[in-house]
Amino acid sequence: MSPRGVATPDVRERLFAAAERIVERDGPGALTSRSVTTEAGCAKGLLHAHFAGLDEFVAELCLDRFARTAARARAMARLAGQGTVSGNLEAVALSLFERGGPALSGLALTRPAATARVREAMRDGGPGFSAVQEAVAGYLEAERALGRLPATVDPDTVALAVVGTAHHLLMTGHPDGPDPRPAMNRLVGALVGA
């Protein structure tokens, strides 16, 4: 445990990673500010020193993970012409399920104040599923321009189908449910083939 009065490096990420481990291992009901700081190995009051409360913490955790996924999706543009279209698309789609994606979605749903804060942030332009969808559509447009996708493939529709399905699987799944990744792989294959 960090000694009292000593700065804890990269506090937000340390607390976020601890929360993800708790939710994946023990479910959303096990998440408390004390469980997070205990898991992170830091002072009990550290979470409240950086966040107004557990709802703000959960909202910021979700927004941080959305931003990371959106950044990864935007990076897809550099992959145009490399690897396979389905492989590149699967990598981004499956990233939504990494690091506790389904568990975190369930967590946000159990905390109405956190959900409201996330929705407000997205309404104000914060990255979320729409940012991922736009990035995927842009990537698919680039691949279509290179001739790696048929001209008949509509990038916006494929992006909506992939991101919408991921959203559905995240919102309706649960940590003990079936692995959603095979369904995403089948969908990507059906939509873009190679």
pLDDT in tens, 125-179: 877 778 888 999 999 999 999 999 999 999 999 999 998 888 888 777 766 778 8
Question: pLDDT tens across 59-68, in order?
Answer: 999 888 888 8
Give the CB-side neighbour count of residue 35, counting CA atoms within 13 A.
Answer: 15
Q: What is the CA radius of gyration of the chain?
A: 18
Question: What are the helix (H) ranges across 98-128?
Answer: 101-109, 112-123
113 to 54, 118, 119, 120: CA distances (angstroms):
10, 9, 10, 11
In the three-class reduction of DSSP (H, G, I as helix; E, B as strand; rest coil), residue 45 is classed as: coil
Question: What are the helix (H) ranges across the chain?
Answer: 11-26, 33-40, 46-50, 54-74, 85-95, 101-109, 112-123, 129-145, 155-172, 181-192
In the three-class reduction of DSSP (H, G, I as helix; E, B as strand; rest coil), residue 81 is classed as: coil
Q: What is the pTM of this model?
A: 0.77
**% the chain with pLDDT above 90:** 35
